[in-house]
Amino acid sequence: MTPEQAPGAPGIAPRWTSSAKDGIGTAYHTSSRVWFTLSHGILNEIYYPHVDSPNTRDLQFLLTDGETFFHEEKRDLLHHCERPDPDAMFYRLTNSDPDGRYRVIKEIICEPHSSVVLQSVKVEIVDESLKDKLQLFVLLAPHIKNTGGNNTALLCEFAGQHFLRAEREDVHLVLGCDTDFIRRSVGFVGVSDGWRDIKDNLQMNWQFTEASNGNVAMTAQVDLSRRLEFVIGVSLGDSHQSAATALLQAFAGSFADQRAKFIAQWKRTQQRKLSEDTETNSLVRLSQHVLMAHEDKQFSGATVASMSIPWGETKDDSDAGGYHLVWARDMVQTTTALLACGEKESPLRALVWLASIQGKDGGMPQNSSIDGTSYWHGVQLDEVAAPVILAWRLKAADALCEFDPTTLIRRAVHYLILNGPVTGQERWEENSGYSPSTLATIISAIVCAADFANAAGETKEARFLLEHADWMVASLEKWTVTNCGELLDGKPRHFIRLTPQASHPGPAHLNPDSAMIQIGNGGGEHPARNIVDAGFLQLVRMGIIAWDHPLVIDSLAVVDAVLKRELPQGPCWRRYNFDGYGQHPDGSAFDGTGEGRVWPLLTGERGHYEVAAGRDVTPYIKAMEGFASDGGLLAEQLWDADDIPGKCMFFGKPAGSAMPLCWAHAEYISLVRSQKDGICFDRVETVYQRYANGDPSSHIEVWTFAHQLTKIPSGKLLRIVCDLAAVIRWSSDNWSTEEFSPLQANGLGLFYVDLPTDSLSAHSEVSFTFHRQSEERWEETTYTVEITEALP
What amino acid positions are annotated as catalytic residues? 426, 429
Q: Going by C-beta distance under 8 Å and a sequence separation of 6 or more, which residues neighbour residue 553?
A: none
Q: Going by C-beta distance under 8 Å and a sequence separation of 6 or more, which residues neighbour residue 736?
A: none
Report whether 511 contacts 478 (CB < 8 A). no
**What's the burial of 361, exposed, middle or buried (CB within 10 Å: 0-12/13-18/19+)?**
middle
HEC-encoded secondary structure of 241-301: HHHHHHHHHHHHCCHHHHHHHHHHHHHCCCCCCCCCCHHHHHHHHHHHHHHHHCECCCCCC
Beta strands in 575-696 (DSSP E): 598-599
Q: Going by C-beta distance under 8 Å and a sequence separation of 6 or more, which residues neighbour residue 219?
A: 62, 137, 138, 139, 140, 184, 185, 186, 187, 193, 194, 195, 197, 198, 204
**What's the burial of 711, exposed, middle or buried (CB within 10 Å: 0-12/13-18/19+)?**
middle
At 275, the amino acid letter reads: S
Roughly what angle, to the nearest 10 degrees, separates helices 278-293 and 662-677?
A: 140
Roughly what angle, to the nearest 10 degrees, separates helices 278-293 and 328-340?
A: 140
Q: How do strand 711-713 and strand 70-72 relate by DSSP bridges?
A: unpaired
- Let me know how long the chain is: 792
Q: Going by C-beta distance under 8 Å and a sequence separation of 6 or more, which residues neighbour residue 232?
A: 59, 118, 119, 121, 138, 175, 176, 177, 222
Side by side, the strands of the sheet bearing 717-722 are 700-703, 717-722, 751-755, 744-745
How far is residue 81 CA from its own chain's centroid? 24
With residue 79 as reference, give the H or E element that holds it.
Answer: strand 78-82
**What's the burial of 49, exposed, middle or buried (CB within 10 Å: 0-12/13-18/19+)?**
middle
HEC-encoded secondary structure of 432-449: CEECHHHHHHHHHHHHHH
In the structure, how many helices (H) and strands (E) does the chain have? 17, 36
How many angstroms separate the CA atoms of 174 and 244, rounded? 6
Report the candidate in 643, 34, 623 with the shortest Cα–Cα distance to residue 280: 623
- How many other C-beta atoms are found inside a 10 Å radius of the C-beta of residue 613? 14
Report whether 655 contacts 596 (CB < 8 A). no
